[in-house]
Amino acid sequence: MRKLGDLEALVMEQLWSSGGRLAVRQVLDALPDGRTRAYTTVMTVLDNLFQKGFVERERSGRAYVYWATQGRAEHTAKAMEDALASGGGDRGAALLHFVEQLTPEESAQLKALLDEAGRS
Amino acid sequence: MTTILLLLLAVVGIGIVCGQLLVRAPWAPSAPRLTVASWHLLGLGSLASVLLAGLASVLLVAPPALVAVLGGFLAHCAVVLRSEATGPHGVVLGVAGMLLALVVTARLLGSLVRESWRARRERHEQLDRLALVGRRLPSRHRDNRILLDDARPAAYCLPGGLIGRGTIVVSSGTLALLDEDQVRLVLAHESAHLHQRHHLAIQLSVALAHAFGRTRSFRRAEQQVPPLLEMAADDGAVRVERPATATNDRAAVRRRLAHALVTLAGAQATPSGALGAGGSAVARVRRLSGPRVRLRLPQTMLLVAGAGLALAELISVVMAPAVCAAAMPVCVAGLG
């Protein structure tokens, strides 16, 4: 299970760095140790990525060509925004944050309090 | 009939009074985990009582043949109850009681399932994305640790369900703002969330509040529980990381953690959960910057006794048939 997740990242890496549309064979060849991997494994991984909405695909002859729907930076930003948007209000406990936002006033007030505590 | 109604009223009254006491309790921050347990036991205990009352009134309408099967004590109960309410009056009550028990059970279970599925789905979406763009940090702990390449500060954990490994995520923005000790404390804080299964406690309070949202006590518990769990995680972080610091001074370590809190909270760009969670950061920093207050022994014992009572109530609902059977000879003697 974990291994497949790592392979997803590797495959995604190839799509991002090529910047274009790749067939399964091309992804396989581009992978660092591609020769040792099975064609069907990469096909499965790409299919998973398609199911998750991370890649788009189009039929080209007898095979599909795949491309990334979003760049690496967009994925990072989305992960971050989802995380920041979650966990507050009545949305429950999908994830637990270390701390929520403070207003500048609260922040200044607490800094003063800490400085005082540090001196005593 | 009157017996059931009186018992029900008593339970509701006790629930309201205990809820008030818990909200105002000055000792709550000194024993956050015990307080969370009290909230949950209070909520589930009240529900159990309503359930029991509903089931008891079913005895009013149960056909005599079924009552006979139930065994001695329950049969006697039924006789006593029936003597209090006879005629069509009793039938209505019996049906109402049965419906009440069914609705309460269905709502609670439905809400629990819905809430845990929703949280699960949201976590999986996060993890799918993190698998692509997160960098795995070396971890000698049970949890996975992932670095997200984003300048905005964020630190959070994704619980792994009931038994799975959880994941802790920190952004590069967080690492840039904190020193090494503070990063370790933040990670230890999230680790404490995961190891102490805080998400289950939150899920339970959210599910109770969603299922019985009109009841103020449940909504209150939902608001009170998360800040208490943050405090528990703060304590856990200090406990774990104190020996690793140069000074090994508890007050100093608590202040380092408080500094990390203020730094990160002040630098956060997006108003994350600022609306609902409502300023537990302020309470946490105040608590960490002062001396550690521990509960005195009598208070602890009182609290444990209170929680124990609620727990006993819960267990009694589950065990009621067995207890009844055991008490049967006494009862028979009393009635005879």
B154-181: burial string, b at 16+ Cβ within 10 Å, e else: bbbbbbbeeeeebbbbbbbbbbebbeeb
Contact A21, A67 (CB under 8 A): yes
**How many domains, in total, are found in chain A?**
1
Q: Do A102 and B265 touch (CB under 8 A)?
A: yes
Helix (H) or strand (E) holding B62: none
pLDDT-based confidence at residue A90 (cuts at 50, 70, 90) = very low
- A2 CB-contact burial (10 Å; exposed 0-12 / middle 13-18 / buried 19+): exposed
Q: Is the per-residue pLDDT at B73 higher than 80?
A: no
Q: What is the mean pLDDT of residues B242-265?
A: 88
User: Who has greater pLDDT, B169 or B141?
Assistant: B169
pLDDT of residue B208: 92
Residue A42, domain extent: 1-120
A68 pLDDT higher than 60? yes
- pLDDT of residue B316 exceeding 50, the answer is yes
How high is the pLDDT of residue B2?
67
Q: What integer pLDDT is reported at residue B22 of this predicted model? A: 84
Which residue, A105, A100, A78, A94, is CA-closest to B154?
A100
Edge-first strand order for the sheet with B144-148 is A96-97, B155-158, B167-171, B144-148, B135-137
User: Which CATH number goes with the domain that contains A119?
Assistant: 1.10.10.10
Decide which of B84 and B166 is more confident.
B166
Please say if the pLDDT value at position A114 is more than 70: yes
DSSP lists the bridge partners of residue B291 as none
Mention every residue, 6+ apart, whose C-beta is less than 8 A from residue A92.
B115, B118, B119, B202, B203, B206
**A35 DSSP 8-state letter:** G
C-alpha span between A42 and A29 (Å, rounded): 10
A17 compared with B296, residue with greater pLDDT: A17
Nearest CB to A82 within list B125, B149, B264: B125
Per-residue pLDDT reduced to its tens digit, B157-185: 999 866 678 999 999 999 999 999 999 99
- Residue of chain B with shortest Cα separation from A117: B289
Q: With a CB-CB cutoff of 8 Å, which residues 133-162 of chain B face chain A?
A: 133-134, 148-150, 152, 154-159
Probe site for chain A from B225, B272, B280, B286 (most A CB atoms < 10 A):
B272
Residues B104/B54, Cβ–Cβ less than 8 Å: yes
| Residue B285 near residue B262, CB atoms below 8 Å | yes
Contact (CB<8Å) B206/A87: no
Do the chains contact at A102 and B202, CB–CB below 8 Å? Answer: no
Please name the residues between 35 and 64 in chain A that touch chain B, using a CB distance below 8 Å. Answer: 52, 54
Distance CA B52, CA B49 (A): 5
| Cβ-defined contact of A114 to B258 (cutoff 8 Å) | yes
DSSP string across B148-212 = E--SS--EEEE--TTTSPPEEEEEHHHHHHS-HHHHHHHHHHHHHHHHTTHHHHHHHHHHHHHHT
